[in-house]
Amino acid sequence: MLFEALRDSVRYPAIWLAGAGYAAFDAVQLVLSLQGETFFSVRFLAIEYLLLPFLLAGAYGVLRERQSSVRLLAREGVKNYFRVLLPGIVVAFGAALALVLVLVPLSLLGFEPTTDLAAGAALAVLIPVLFFSALYDTVACSEGLGVFASLRRSFALVLAHIWEVLVFVLTTLAVLLGLGFVILVAWTTLLFDRLEPLASLPASELATFGPSQLAAMIGTSGLALTALLYAVFILVSFVLVTTYKARLYRSVADATPTEPQGVYDEKGRYYRY
């Protein structure tokens, strides 16, 4: 399935255009963060999050229609924008609520709400939520479902094909970790002379060493190189995840029938069409 996804990435170059748009925004946001421009960085991050559903919807539309067209990418992005955005907000809100429901009882039982405890609880909540809702965006764009219907469909698909989804997650993580390692080695090698003073810093100074100090150390050209390599990583990640997930959805959806549609009457009884 991974190789089919790689072939799709070659067949439909419009997906690379969507990925390049997101990578460019993310790289600019990284540079602003490294330079300590918190005011602009936070607002740029908000714009990024609002742009991502448009790009994802456009990419999934291209893969669904199997046509590489900028016009199709834009049309599908507008058409399915809220189908991707709104379930994501519901998932984030649900995860935050679940985290509160986990931390409050622990606090009442006498556990001190330390950073480590909060991080552990967050992982315990986020991992299953993200895993079972992993296909909601592809479902929403491919089947035209609403907010909760796309989430239910995602949960049903993941439950019915849990091993296939697990292989998808582990394979994607392995590929991205490998790519990230290669890019990190390239970044360190190219900026070795500028990063060398870090090795001689005492532990006390390293503990307080921040992003703005790193930006000053590597200089303008180093920042440009960092942004470029980071953008390459984000671009490849975007293309890999969208094409691979679309292939996964196509595989599991064909083997799992959709839920019958229906309506509720005034007494709460459900009638299927």
Distance, CA of 15 to CA of 12 (rounded, Å): 6
Half-sphere exposure for 44 (CA within 13 Å, toward CB): 17
- How many structural domains are present in the chain? 1
Pick out the chain residues at pLDDT < 50.
270
Q: Who contacts 129 (Cβ-Cβ below 8 Å, separation ≥6)?
A: 91, 94, 95, 98
Beta pairing partners, 263 = 271
Residue type, 227: A
Tell whether 271 is covered by a domain.
no
205: containing domain = 2-263
Tell whether 268 is covered by a domain.
no
pLDDT, residue 265, reads 54
Tell whether 270 is covered by a domain.
no
pLDDT, residue 262, reads 57
Tell whether 127 is covered by a domain.
yes
Q: Count the Cβ atoms, other than its own, within 10 Å of residue 1.
A: 14
Distance, CA of 246 to CA of 72 (rounded, Å): 17
Tell whether 141 is covered by a domain.
yes
Tell whether 140 is covered by a domain.
yes
Are the CB atoms for 24 and 231 separated by under 8 Å? yes
Distance, CA of 51 to CA of 58 (rounded, Å): 11
Tell whether 171 is covered by a domain.
yes
Q: What is the CA radius of gyration of the chain?
A: 22
pLDDT, residue 181, reads 97
Tell whether 248 is covered by a domain.
yes
